[in-house]
């Protein structure tokens, strides 16, 4: 399979289902930002992390591919994406992990600055890309039908990365830097 097809040289790209749209289409902005998030998670996953975290990150990356496929599908692509829907169970997996990590951390009483070790800082980078992806998906949902669980999943996912950042820093003995108003 060739990587390049030359069909996009005219400034359009093909959707799952066969239609073509401009490369600046809001749909592409939405699933492109999901892809950017997935790459950011790939950087995180390349680091030395606990096995259980790597397992969850693998699940998340697969779900993000599902979300990207759903967003990249036109009406004719439904057959391909029929089994890719995000479920309440997928959301509960994130909520369970968030709650488990939270129970192991000191209570948060004020804002903290992104940082810590590289893994926790990368979690913050993923969190912010996730928030942007969520905004792009919500914007796209104003013009096209988007499964509501996708938006909920993305919202929980950014929370997951915030709490994972804290947990990875805490487990490494790194003190959180609190935001100080000037």
pLDDT per residue as tens digits for the range 20-52? 877 788 989 999 999 999 999 999 999 999 999
Q: CATH code for 22-101+111-171?
A: 1.20.1200.10
pLDDT at 6 (0 to 100):
75
Domains of the chain: which residue ranges?
22-101+111-171
Helix (H, G, I), strand (E, B) or coil at 104: coil
Helix (H, G, I), strand (E, B) or coil at 182: coil
pLDDT at 83 (0 to 100):
79
pTM of the model: 0.92
Tokens of 121: 């800082």
Residues in the chain where the model's pLDDT stays below 50: none
| Ramachandran angles phi, psi of 26, nearest 5° | -60, -35
Name the E strands within the chain: 12-14, 20-22
What integer best gives the mean pLDDT of the chain?
A: 92
pLDDT at 158 (0 to 100):
98
Tokens of 38: 């997935």
pLDDT at 144 (0 to 100):
92
């Amino acid at each position: 399979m060739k990587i390049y097809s030359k069909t996009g040289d005219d400034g359009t790209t093909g959707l799952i289902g066969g239609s073509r749209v401009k490369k600046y289409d809001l749909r592409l902005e939405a699933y492109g930002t999901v892809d950017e998030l997935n790459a950011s998670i790939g950087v995180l996953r390349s680091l030395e992390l606990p096995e259980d975290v790597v397992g969850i990150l693998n699940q998340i990356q697969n779900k993000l591919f599902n979300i990207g496929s759903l967003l990249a599908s036109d009406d004719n692509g439904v057959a391909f994406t029929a089994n890719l829907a995000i479920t309440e169970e997928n959301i509960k997996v994130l909520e369970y992990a968030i709650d488990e990590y939270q129970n192991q951390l000191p209570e948060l009483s004020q804002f903290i600055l992104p940082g810590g070790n590289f893994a926790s800082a990368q979690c913050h980078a993923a969190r912010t890309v996730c928030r942007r992806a969520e905004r792009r998906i919500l914007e796209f949902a104003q013009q096209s039908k988007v499964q509501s669980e996708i938006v909920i999943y993305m919202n929980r996912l950014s929370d997951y990365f915030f709490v994972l950042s804290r947990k990875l820093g805490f487990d490494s003995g790194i003190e959180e830097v609190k935001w100080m108003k000037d």
